[in-house]
Amino acid sequence: MNELIKEENGFRYIESGTSGETLLLLHGLFGALSNFEGIIKRFSGKYNVVVPILPIYEMPIFEVSVMGLVDFVTKFVHFKGYEKVHLLGNSLGGHIALLYALAHPELIGSVTLTGSSGLFESAFGTAFPKRGDYEYIRKKTADTFYNPSVASKELVDEVFGIVNDRNKAIRVVATAKSAVRHNLGDKLHKIKAPTLLIWGKQDNVTPPFVGEKFHELIENSRLYFLDECGHAPMMEKPEEFNAILEDFLKEVTQVVPYPS
């Protein structure tokens, strides 16, 4: 990733600065800017693509929660002065996107979820067994993909570093527990924005039935499954993912002419 990370007012983020509508990307618990590399390259020419770095590891421990991260996104959008955003979230980022959309429906152009938490998830759990065991972390990271080779050494090293940093690990566990407590099953009917669901058929973290349940509970939603694909379709099947996303964004950003 060669994008310049901007630092302003306590926020760290990248922004294409394009004069289109804003596409705001929210990463997951172990996510990074590199997770969205394919989306950034594909859409930065037409949309103002923005990726805030969520302060999962920097927040004071008593503030660590899903809602703490929603508050962070709220402050970031306000600071940037975005009038409307198209939210896209993977895993925990999808959960944050949904909570933000519920709190600020007037600011939402659309929502895209891929492998989102909020209904059910089965990841590392709420504790970290075998800290220091690189092979265990390598396998757990690879298991999030259908094709284990997508779990590059760089990605495994990053996850290993998080797990073995006590302060970061505590925050990951606290955030994961908070996500489980904030189940959205009884709130999703309130989401009225156009919603796109892109799911891996072989997602072991948020299995296909989770995508189907989101589709059932969010009225204005459409669901696509990608075969031979795990928990991060935008990384594992970037071309197919981006083609679906592009068609969706073209539709929801079309300017409807006034009747003559």
Per-residue pLDDT tens digits for 47-65: 999 999 999 988 888 888 9
The secondary structure of 58-121 as a DSSP string is TS-GGG-SHHHHHHHHHHHHHHHT-S-EEEEEETHHHHHHHHHHHH-GGGEEEEEEES--SS--
Q: How many CB atoms lie within 10 A of CB 160?
A: 19
Report the pLDDT value the prediction gives residue 130, as an integer from 0 to 100: 60
**CATH at residue 211:** 3.40.50.1820
18: containing domain: 6-120+182-252
**Is 139 a domain residue?**
no
Task: Decide: helix, strand or coil at residue 247.
Answer: helix
pTM comes to 0.92
Residues 101, 111 contacting (CB under 8 angstroms): yes
6 phi-psi bin (left φ>0, alpha ψ -120 to 50, beta other) = beta
Per-residue pLDDT tens digits for 105-142: 999 999 999 999 999 866 544 445 466 788 888 888 89
Total number of domains in the chain: 1
Report the pLDDT value the prediction gives residue 2, as an integer from 0 to 100: 59
Report the pLDDT value the prediction gives residue 260, as an integer from 0 to 100: 39
Per-residue pLDDT tens digits for 234-259: 999 999 999 999 999 999 996 544 44
**Is 164 a domain residue?**
no
Kindly list the distances between the CA atom of residue 150 and the CA atoms of 53, 73, 174, 229, in Å, as whole numbers in the listed order. Answer: 22, 29, 27, 11
Average pLDDT over residues 193-202: 98
pLDDT of 16 higher than 50: yes
**Is 34 a domain residue?**
yes
Report the pLDDT value the prediction gives residue 101, as an integer from 0 to 100: 98
